[in-house]
Amino acid sequence: MTSSTTPKFERWQVNRRHLLKTIGAGAVMLGAAPTRLLAADATLKVWAASGQRWEFANKGVAPLFEAANPGTSVQITGTPIGEYGSKVAAAMAAGSTEWDVIQLDYAQLPQFAPAGWVAPLDQWIDADEEYKKSLSDIPSNVLALYRSDGKQYGVPADSNAMMTYYRADILDKYGMKVPDTWDEVVEIAKELHNNKSGIYGYVGSLGRGLYAYLGLLPVIWSYGGEIWDEKTYEIKIDKGDAGFKALSVLTELVKYGDPASVNGTDDEVNSSMASGNSAMAPSAWGNTVMNDPKYSKFADAIKTTVVPAGKPGLKVPAMGGLGHMVVQRSTQKDLAWKYVRFVTSDDPAVGKAWVDNTGQPARLSFLTNPQFVKEHPHFPTLADTLKVARPYGGGLPEAYAIADVIGTVVSSIISGDIAVEPGLKKVGDETYKFLTDNGYSATR
Amino acid sequence: MTDSAARHPPPIADSPGTVSRTLAALDLQNRRTFLLFVGPTVVVLVAIIIFPMVYSLATAFRFSVLYKPQASRFVGFSNFSSLLGSEYTQVAFLNTAIYTLITVTIEMVAGFFLALLLSRAIYGARYFRTALMVPILISPIIVGLSWRFMYNPSIGIIDQALSGIGLAKINWLTDSKIAFWAVMVPDIWQWTPFVTLVLLAGIHSISPEIREAALLDGLRLRHMIRYIYLRMLVPVIVVILLIRFIDALKTFDVVFILTQGGPGLSTMLISIRTWTLGLINLNMGQAAALSYMIVLVMSVFVVGLLRLLKQRVG
């Protein structure tokens, strides 16, 4: 075969000119790389859940940290919240030394602290009197979420709790008052359904598993009930009438509310409210979407209040939130702590950067700051809600697993597959089985 | 290397045992070259396929929960027995079996008749064949999201259309009696075209003389289907069945996005159960055990189909 007939790829080779060209191109690309990365003496790797509240907020604060710490660069990696927890756990279990700081859901601390994956922060906190004093600005029950075995493993820059979002204009239009009890929520849902307003009176995130479990909590707690006793592991859901009332309320709400609630996640709730399909989300997670005119033309009409009561005056929303923690295997733990301290500090400039970048702070001074409240009108409600909110998961390392078991049965009940009464027994049986299978001395 | 050796390279190993024979037949330099080319591939295969398989098989027999590394231990068949005793797993297996059977059957039947139709001289068939490619090319995640929107009772096009013609809206994904059937539709929508296109290629490969002879013998369409098309397409059908059954048994993305396995357990598939065990419960032992149970079921099925193929083709 002559060279003219040989295909081009057969004749391809690397000569000295090619090699020099490649090296030159590489040098140009290196020159174009962000100068701050090249100039950095140290690079801090922060792993957060992606998007609003977490990744964006960290990215908002990082430049301030870099400015305050010349020679330090912060790299923030975001992973979707649905897979973030398991990916972080897998990385830690594999002994990864890649990460310095993680922002973790408190419900996973009972997994991470005993496994030795995160470092206790007490040595640094105790050595910093000013910072330690400033922590009184974070509600003590929120700070306690990140404590295990007497040690503080995390400090939250972020907080969350369930609250009631409602359309003030719709309630006004139909002469309804803001509901104070779950019974009133059911009444509103029923009335808006029956008067053919075209708007649902209820939307909730009750999808199978974790969502349905979380959806049950503020209702059963507000009737004074429990699924299981967190100290004695006694199964309580089918004892007394709180469980029955709570599941009856949810079943009624689903009947009259937005059907999307049955498989609903936060997305369904936010979009149903933001698009004007629903007038009320009585136990929605706090978020910066619904009140944002960029996302909803009803933003100004959507107001918030603390979740409804079951028993008179008993309002008990579930608590959310992700705290900043130092990874035990980090090779630069002091620097990692420096970042945690910075991002969770009471410096108003840091707070502003956090809030401006969709963050939802844990500090009461930020949640009640008039400038921030103007931007996010639900902050004062969140501040009030945090005072009465309760953590979910019962402090078990198997929090998500038990939530999946309970939430699956709850989903069957609210979708009508199982009636409320036998359903209650089934929740009790499944919870008992789960706890005993996992080595807890549960009683029935 | 001599010129003759370069011009006449040794035969490529194509059957068991020939690799060692080939190596033995090579001189030292050729053997080195052979190992240099084959070695990296073997190393990569071992690293990314063989090792994870062996490791996960070992994990299936261990108590292995990510956040309890100290408690990790050999537990024999305990993971398998607890899974088999679990109502969730039983429902997931049953749902997966029904899901697979129904979706694949509908895809095969619909795909066959569509292929038959498109094999005729129909005006525009060329464009239709191209259009058939579209669903196959879409990522399952996008298919799931699109159908989730379409099924939405408030804003979805399906319920809007039903309302438009005066029919009641249907809660496609939130009514547990309907949801299981509703999650099958996107799969059928996406994969019937694949069956159609492969069968169409099979139909085109049947010699026109055979069809003409059958027509001259006065065979009616149903006889043509039974005695010509189905008989001659057996190898193609078996291969499609193999691909579609394996795919359907593994279905995850679309159903997960549509319902996450709910309401209740109504759309719980074995893949979603495995995901829950591994990535929610972080119980790698049970997740690995369930994965191997799926592999076992698939293997039995694949071996059965391959035997059928061998018999027919033989």
Q: Which residue among A83, A115, A409 sits closest to B69, beta carbon to beta carbon?
A: A115
How, if at all, do strands B73-74 and A302-305 pair? unpaired
Boundaries of every domain in chain B: 12-60, 78-313
- Residue to substitute from B7, B282, B286, interface A, most A β-carbons within 10 A: B282
Angle between helix B184-205 and B234-249 (nearest 10) = 160
Amino acid at B104: V
ω into residue B263 within 30 of 0, thus cis? Answer: yes
Q: What is the mean pLDDT of residues A397-404?
A: 97
- In this predicted structure, the answer to whether residue A150 has a pLDDT above a threshold of 80 is yes
DSSP secondary structure string, chain B? Answer: --HHHHHSPPPPP-STTHHHHHHHHS-HHHHHHHHHHHHHHHHHHIIIIIHHHHHHHHHHTEE-BTT-GGG-EE-TTHHHHHHHH-HHHHHHHHHHHHHHHHHHHHHHHHHHHHHHHHTS--TTHHHHHHHHHHHHHS-HHHHHHHHHHHH-TTT-HHHHHHHHTTPPP--TTTSHHHHHHHTHHHHHHHHHHHHHHHHHHHHHHS-HHHHHHHHHTT--HHHIIIIIIHHHTHHHHHHHHHHHHHHHHT--HHHHHHHTT-STTTT--HHHHHHIIIIIS-BHHHHHHHHHHHHHHHHHHHHHHHHHHHHHH-
The confidence score (pLDDT) of residue B13 equals 47
The confidence score (pLDDT) of residue A28 equals 73
Q: What is the mean pLDDT of residues B231-260?
A: 94
A419 inside 8 A of chain B by CB? no
The confidence score (pLDDT) of residue B19 equals 67
Cα of A367 to nearest chain B Cα, Å: 32
- Residue to substitute from B83, B255, B260, B275, interface A, most A β-carbons within 10 A: B260
C-alpha to C-alpha distance for A429 and A431, rounded to whole angstroms: 6
Q: A270-312: per-residue pLDDT in tens?
A: 999 999 999 999 999 998 888 888 889 999 999 999 999 999 9
The answer to whether B173 contacts A263, with C-beta atoms less than 8 Å apart, is yes
Q: List C-alpha distances in Å: A393 to A72, A143, B231.
A: 37, 16, 59
B276 inside 8 A of chain A by CB? yes
Q: B122-168: per-residue pLDDT in tens?
A: 888 888 888 999 999 999 999 999 999 999 888 899 999 999 999 99
- In this predicted structure, the answer to whether residue A33 has a pLDDT above a threshold of 80 is no
DSSP one-letter code for A395: G
Q: Which residue among A111, A260, A414 sits closest to B67, beta carbon to beta carbon?
A: A111
Of A264, A212, A84, whose CA–CA distance to B148 is shortest? Answer: A264
Write the ipTM. 0.84
- At A14, is the pLDDT very low, low, confident or very high (cuts 50, 70, 90)? low
B72 inside 8 A of chain A by CB? no
- In this predicted structure, the answer to whether residue A129 has a pLDDT above a threshold of 70 is yes
A39 inside 8 A of chain B by CB? no
A307 inside 8 A of chain B by CB? no
A412 inside 8 A of chain B by CB? yes
A420 inside 8 A of chain B by CB? no
What DSSP element (H or E) covers A110?
A: helix A109-112
Check residues B19 and A253 and name the one with the higher pLDDT.
Answer: A253
Half-sphere exposure of B314 (CA within 13 A, CB side): 6
Do A328 and A154 form a contact (C-beta atoms < 8 A)?
no
The confidence score (pLDDT) of residue B129 equals 86
CB atoms within 10 A of CB B85: 9
Amino acid at B87: E
C-alpha to C-alpha distance for B138 and B248, rounded to whole angstroms: 16
Phi, psi of B124 (to 5 degrees): 85, 0
Search chain B and give the residue with CA nearest A213: B264
Q: What percent of chain A has pLDDT over 90?
A: 86
Contacts A–B by Cβ distance under 8 A:
106
| Domains of chain A by start residue, with CATH | 16-159+321-362 (3.40.190.10), 161-319 (3.40.190.10)
- In this predicted structure, the answer to whether residue B311 has a pLDDT above a threshold of 50 is yes
B89 inside 8 A of chain A by CB? no
Q: A203-247: per-residue pLDDT in tens?
A: 999 999 999 999 999 999 999 999 999 999 999 999 999 999 999
* Contact partners, residue A214, CB within 8 Å, separation at least 6: A162, A205, A318, A392, A403, A407
Do A88 and A104 form a contact (C-beta atoms < 8 A)?
yes
- In this predicted structure, the answer to whether residue A149 has a pLDDT above a threshold of 50 is yes
Do A244 and A421 form a contact (C-beta atoms < 8 A)?
yes
The confidence score (pLDDT) of residue B6 equals 47
Q: B58-87: per-residue pLDDT in tens?
A: 999 999 999 999 999 999 999 999 999 999
- Residue to substitute from A415, A430, A434, A436, interface B, most B β-carbons within 10 A: A415
Q: A255-268: per-residue pLDDT in tens?
A: 999 999 999 999 89
The confidence score (pLDDT) of residue B35 equals 85
DSSP one-letter code for A418: S
Query: How many residues make up chain A in this entry?
Result: 444
Phi, psi of A339 (to 5 degrees): -70, -45
The confidence score (pLDDT) of residue A195 equals 84
The answer to whether A411 contacts B173, with C-beta atoms less than 8 Å apart, is no
At the top level of CATH, the class of B78-313 is mainly alpha
Amino acid at A104: L
The answer to whether B154 contacts A89, with C-beta atoms less than 8 Å apart, is no
The answer to whether A411 contacts B174, with C-beta atoms less than 8 Å apart, is no
Q: What is the mean pLDDT of residues B230-237?
A: 92
The confidence score (pLDDT) of residue A408 equals 97
The answer to whether B176 contacts A408, with C-beta atoms less than 8 Å apart, is no
B283 inside 8 A of chain A by CB? yes
Do A220 and A420 form a contact (C-beta atoms < 8 A)?
no
Q: Which residue among A208, A409, A418 sits closest to B261, beta carbon to beta carbon?
A: A208
- In this predicted structure, the answer to whether residue A51 has a pLDDT above a threshold of 90 is yes
- Residue to substitute from B7, B56, B66, interface A, most A β-carbons within 10 A: B66
- At A412, is the pLDDT very low, low, confident or very high (cuts 50, 70, 90)? very high
- At A13, is the pLDDT very low, low, confident or very high (cuts 50, 70, 90)? low
- In this predicted structure, the answer to whether residue A20 has a pLDDT above a threshold of 60 is yes
Q: Which residue among B66, B152, B260 sits closest to A260, beta carbon to beta carbon?
A: B152
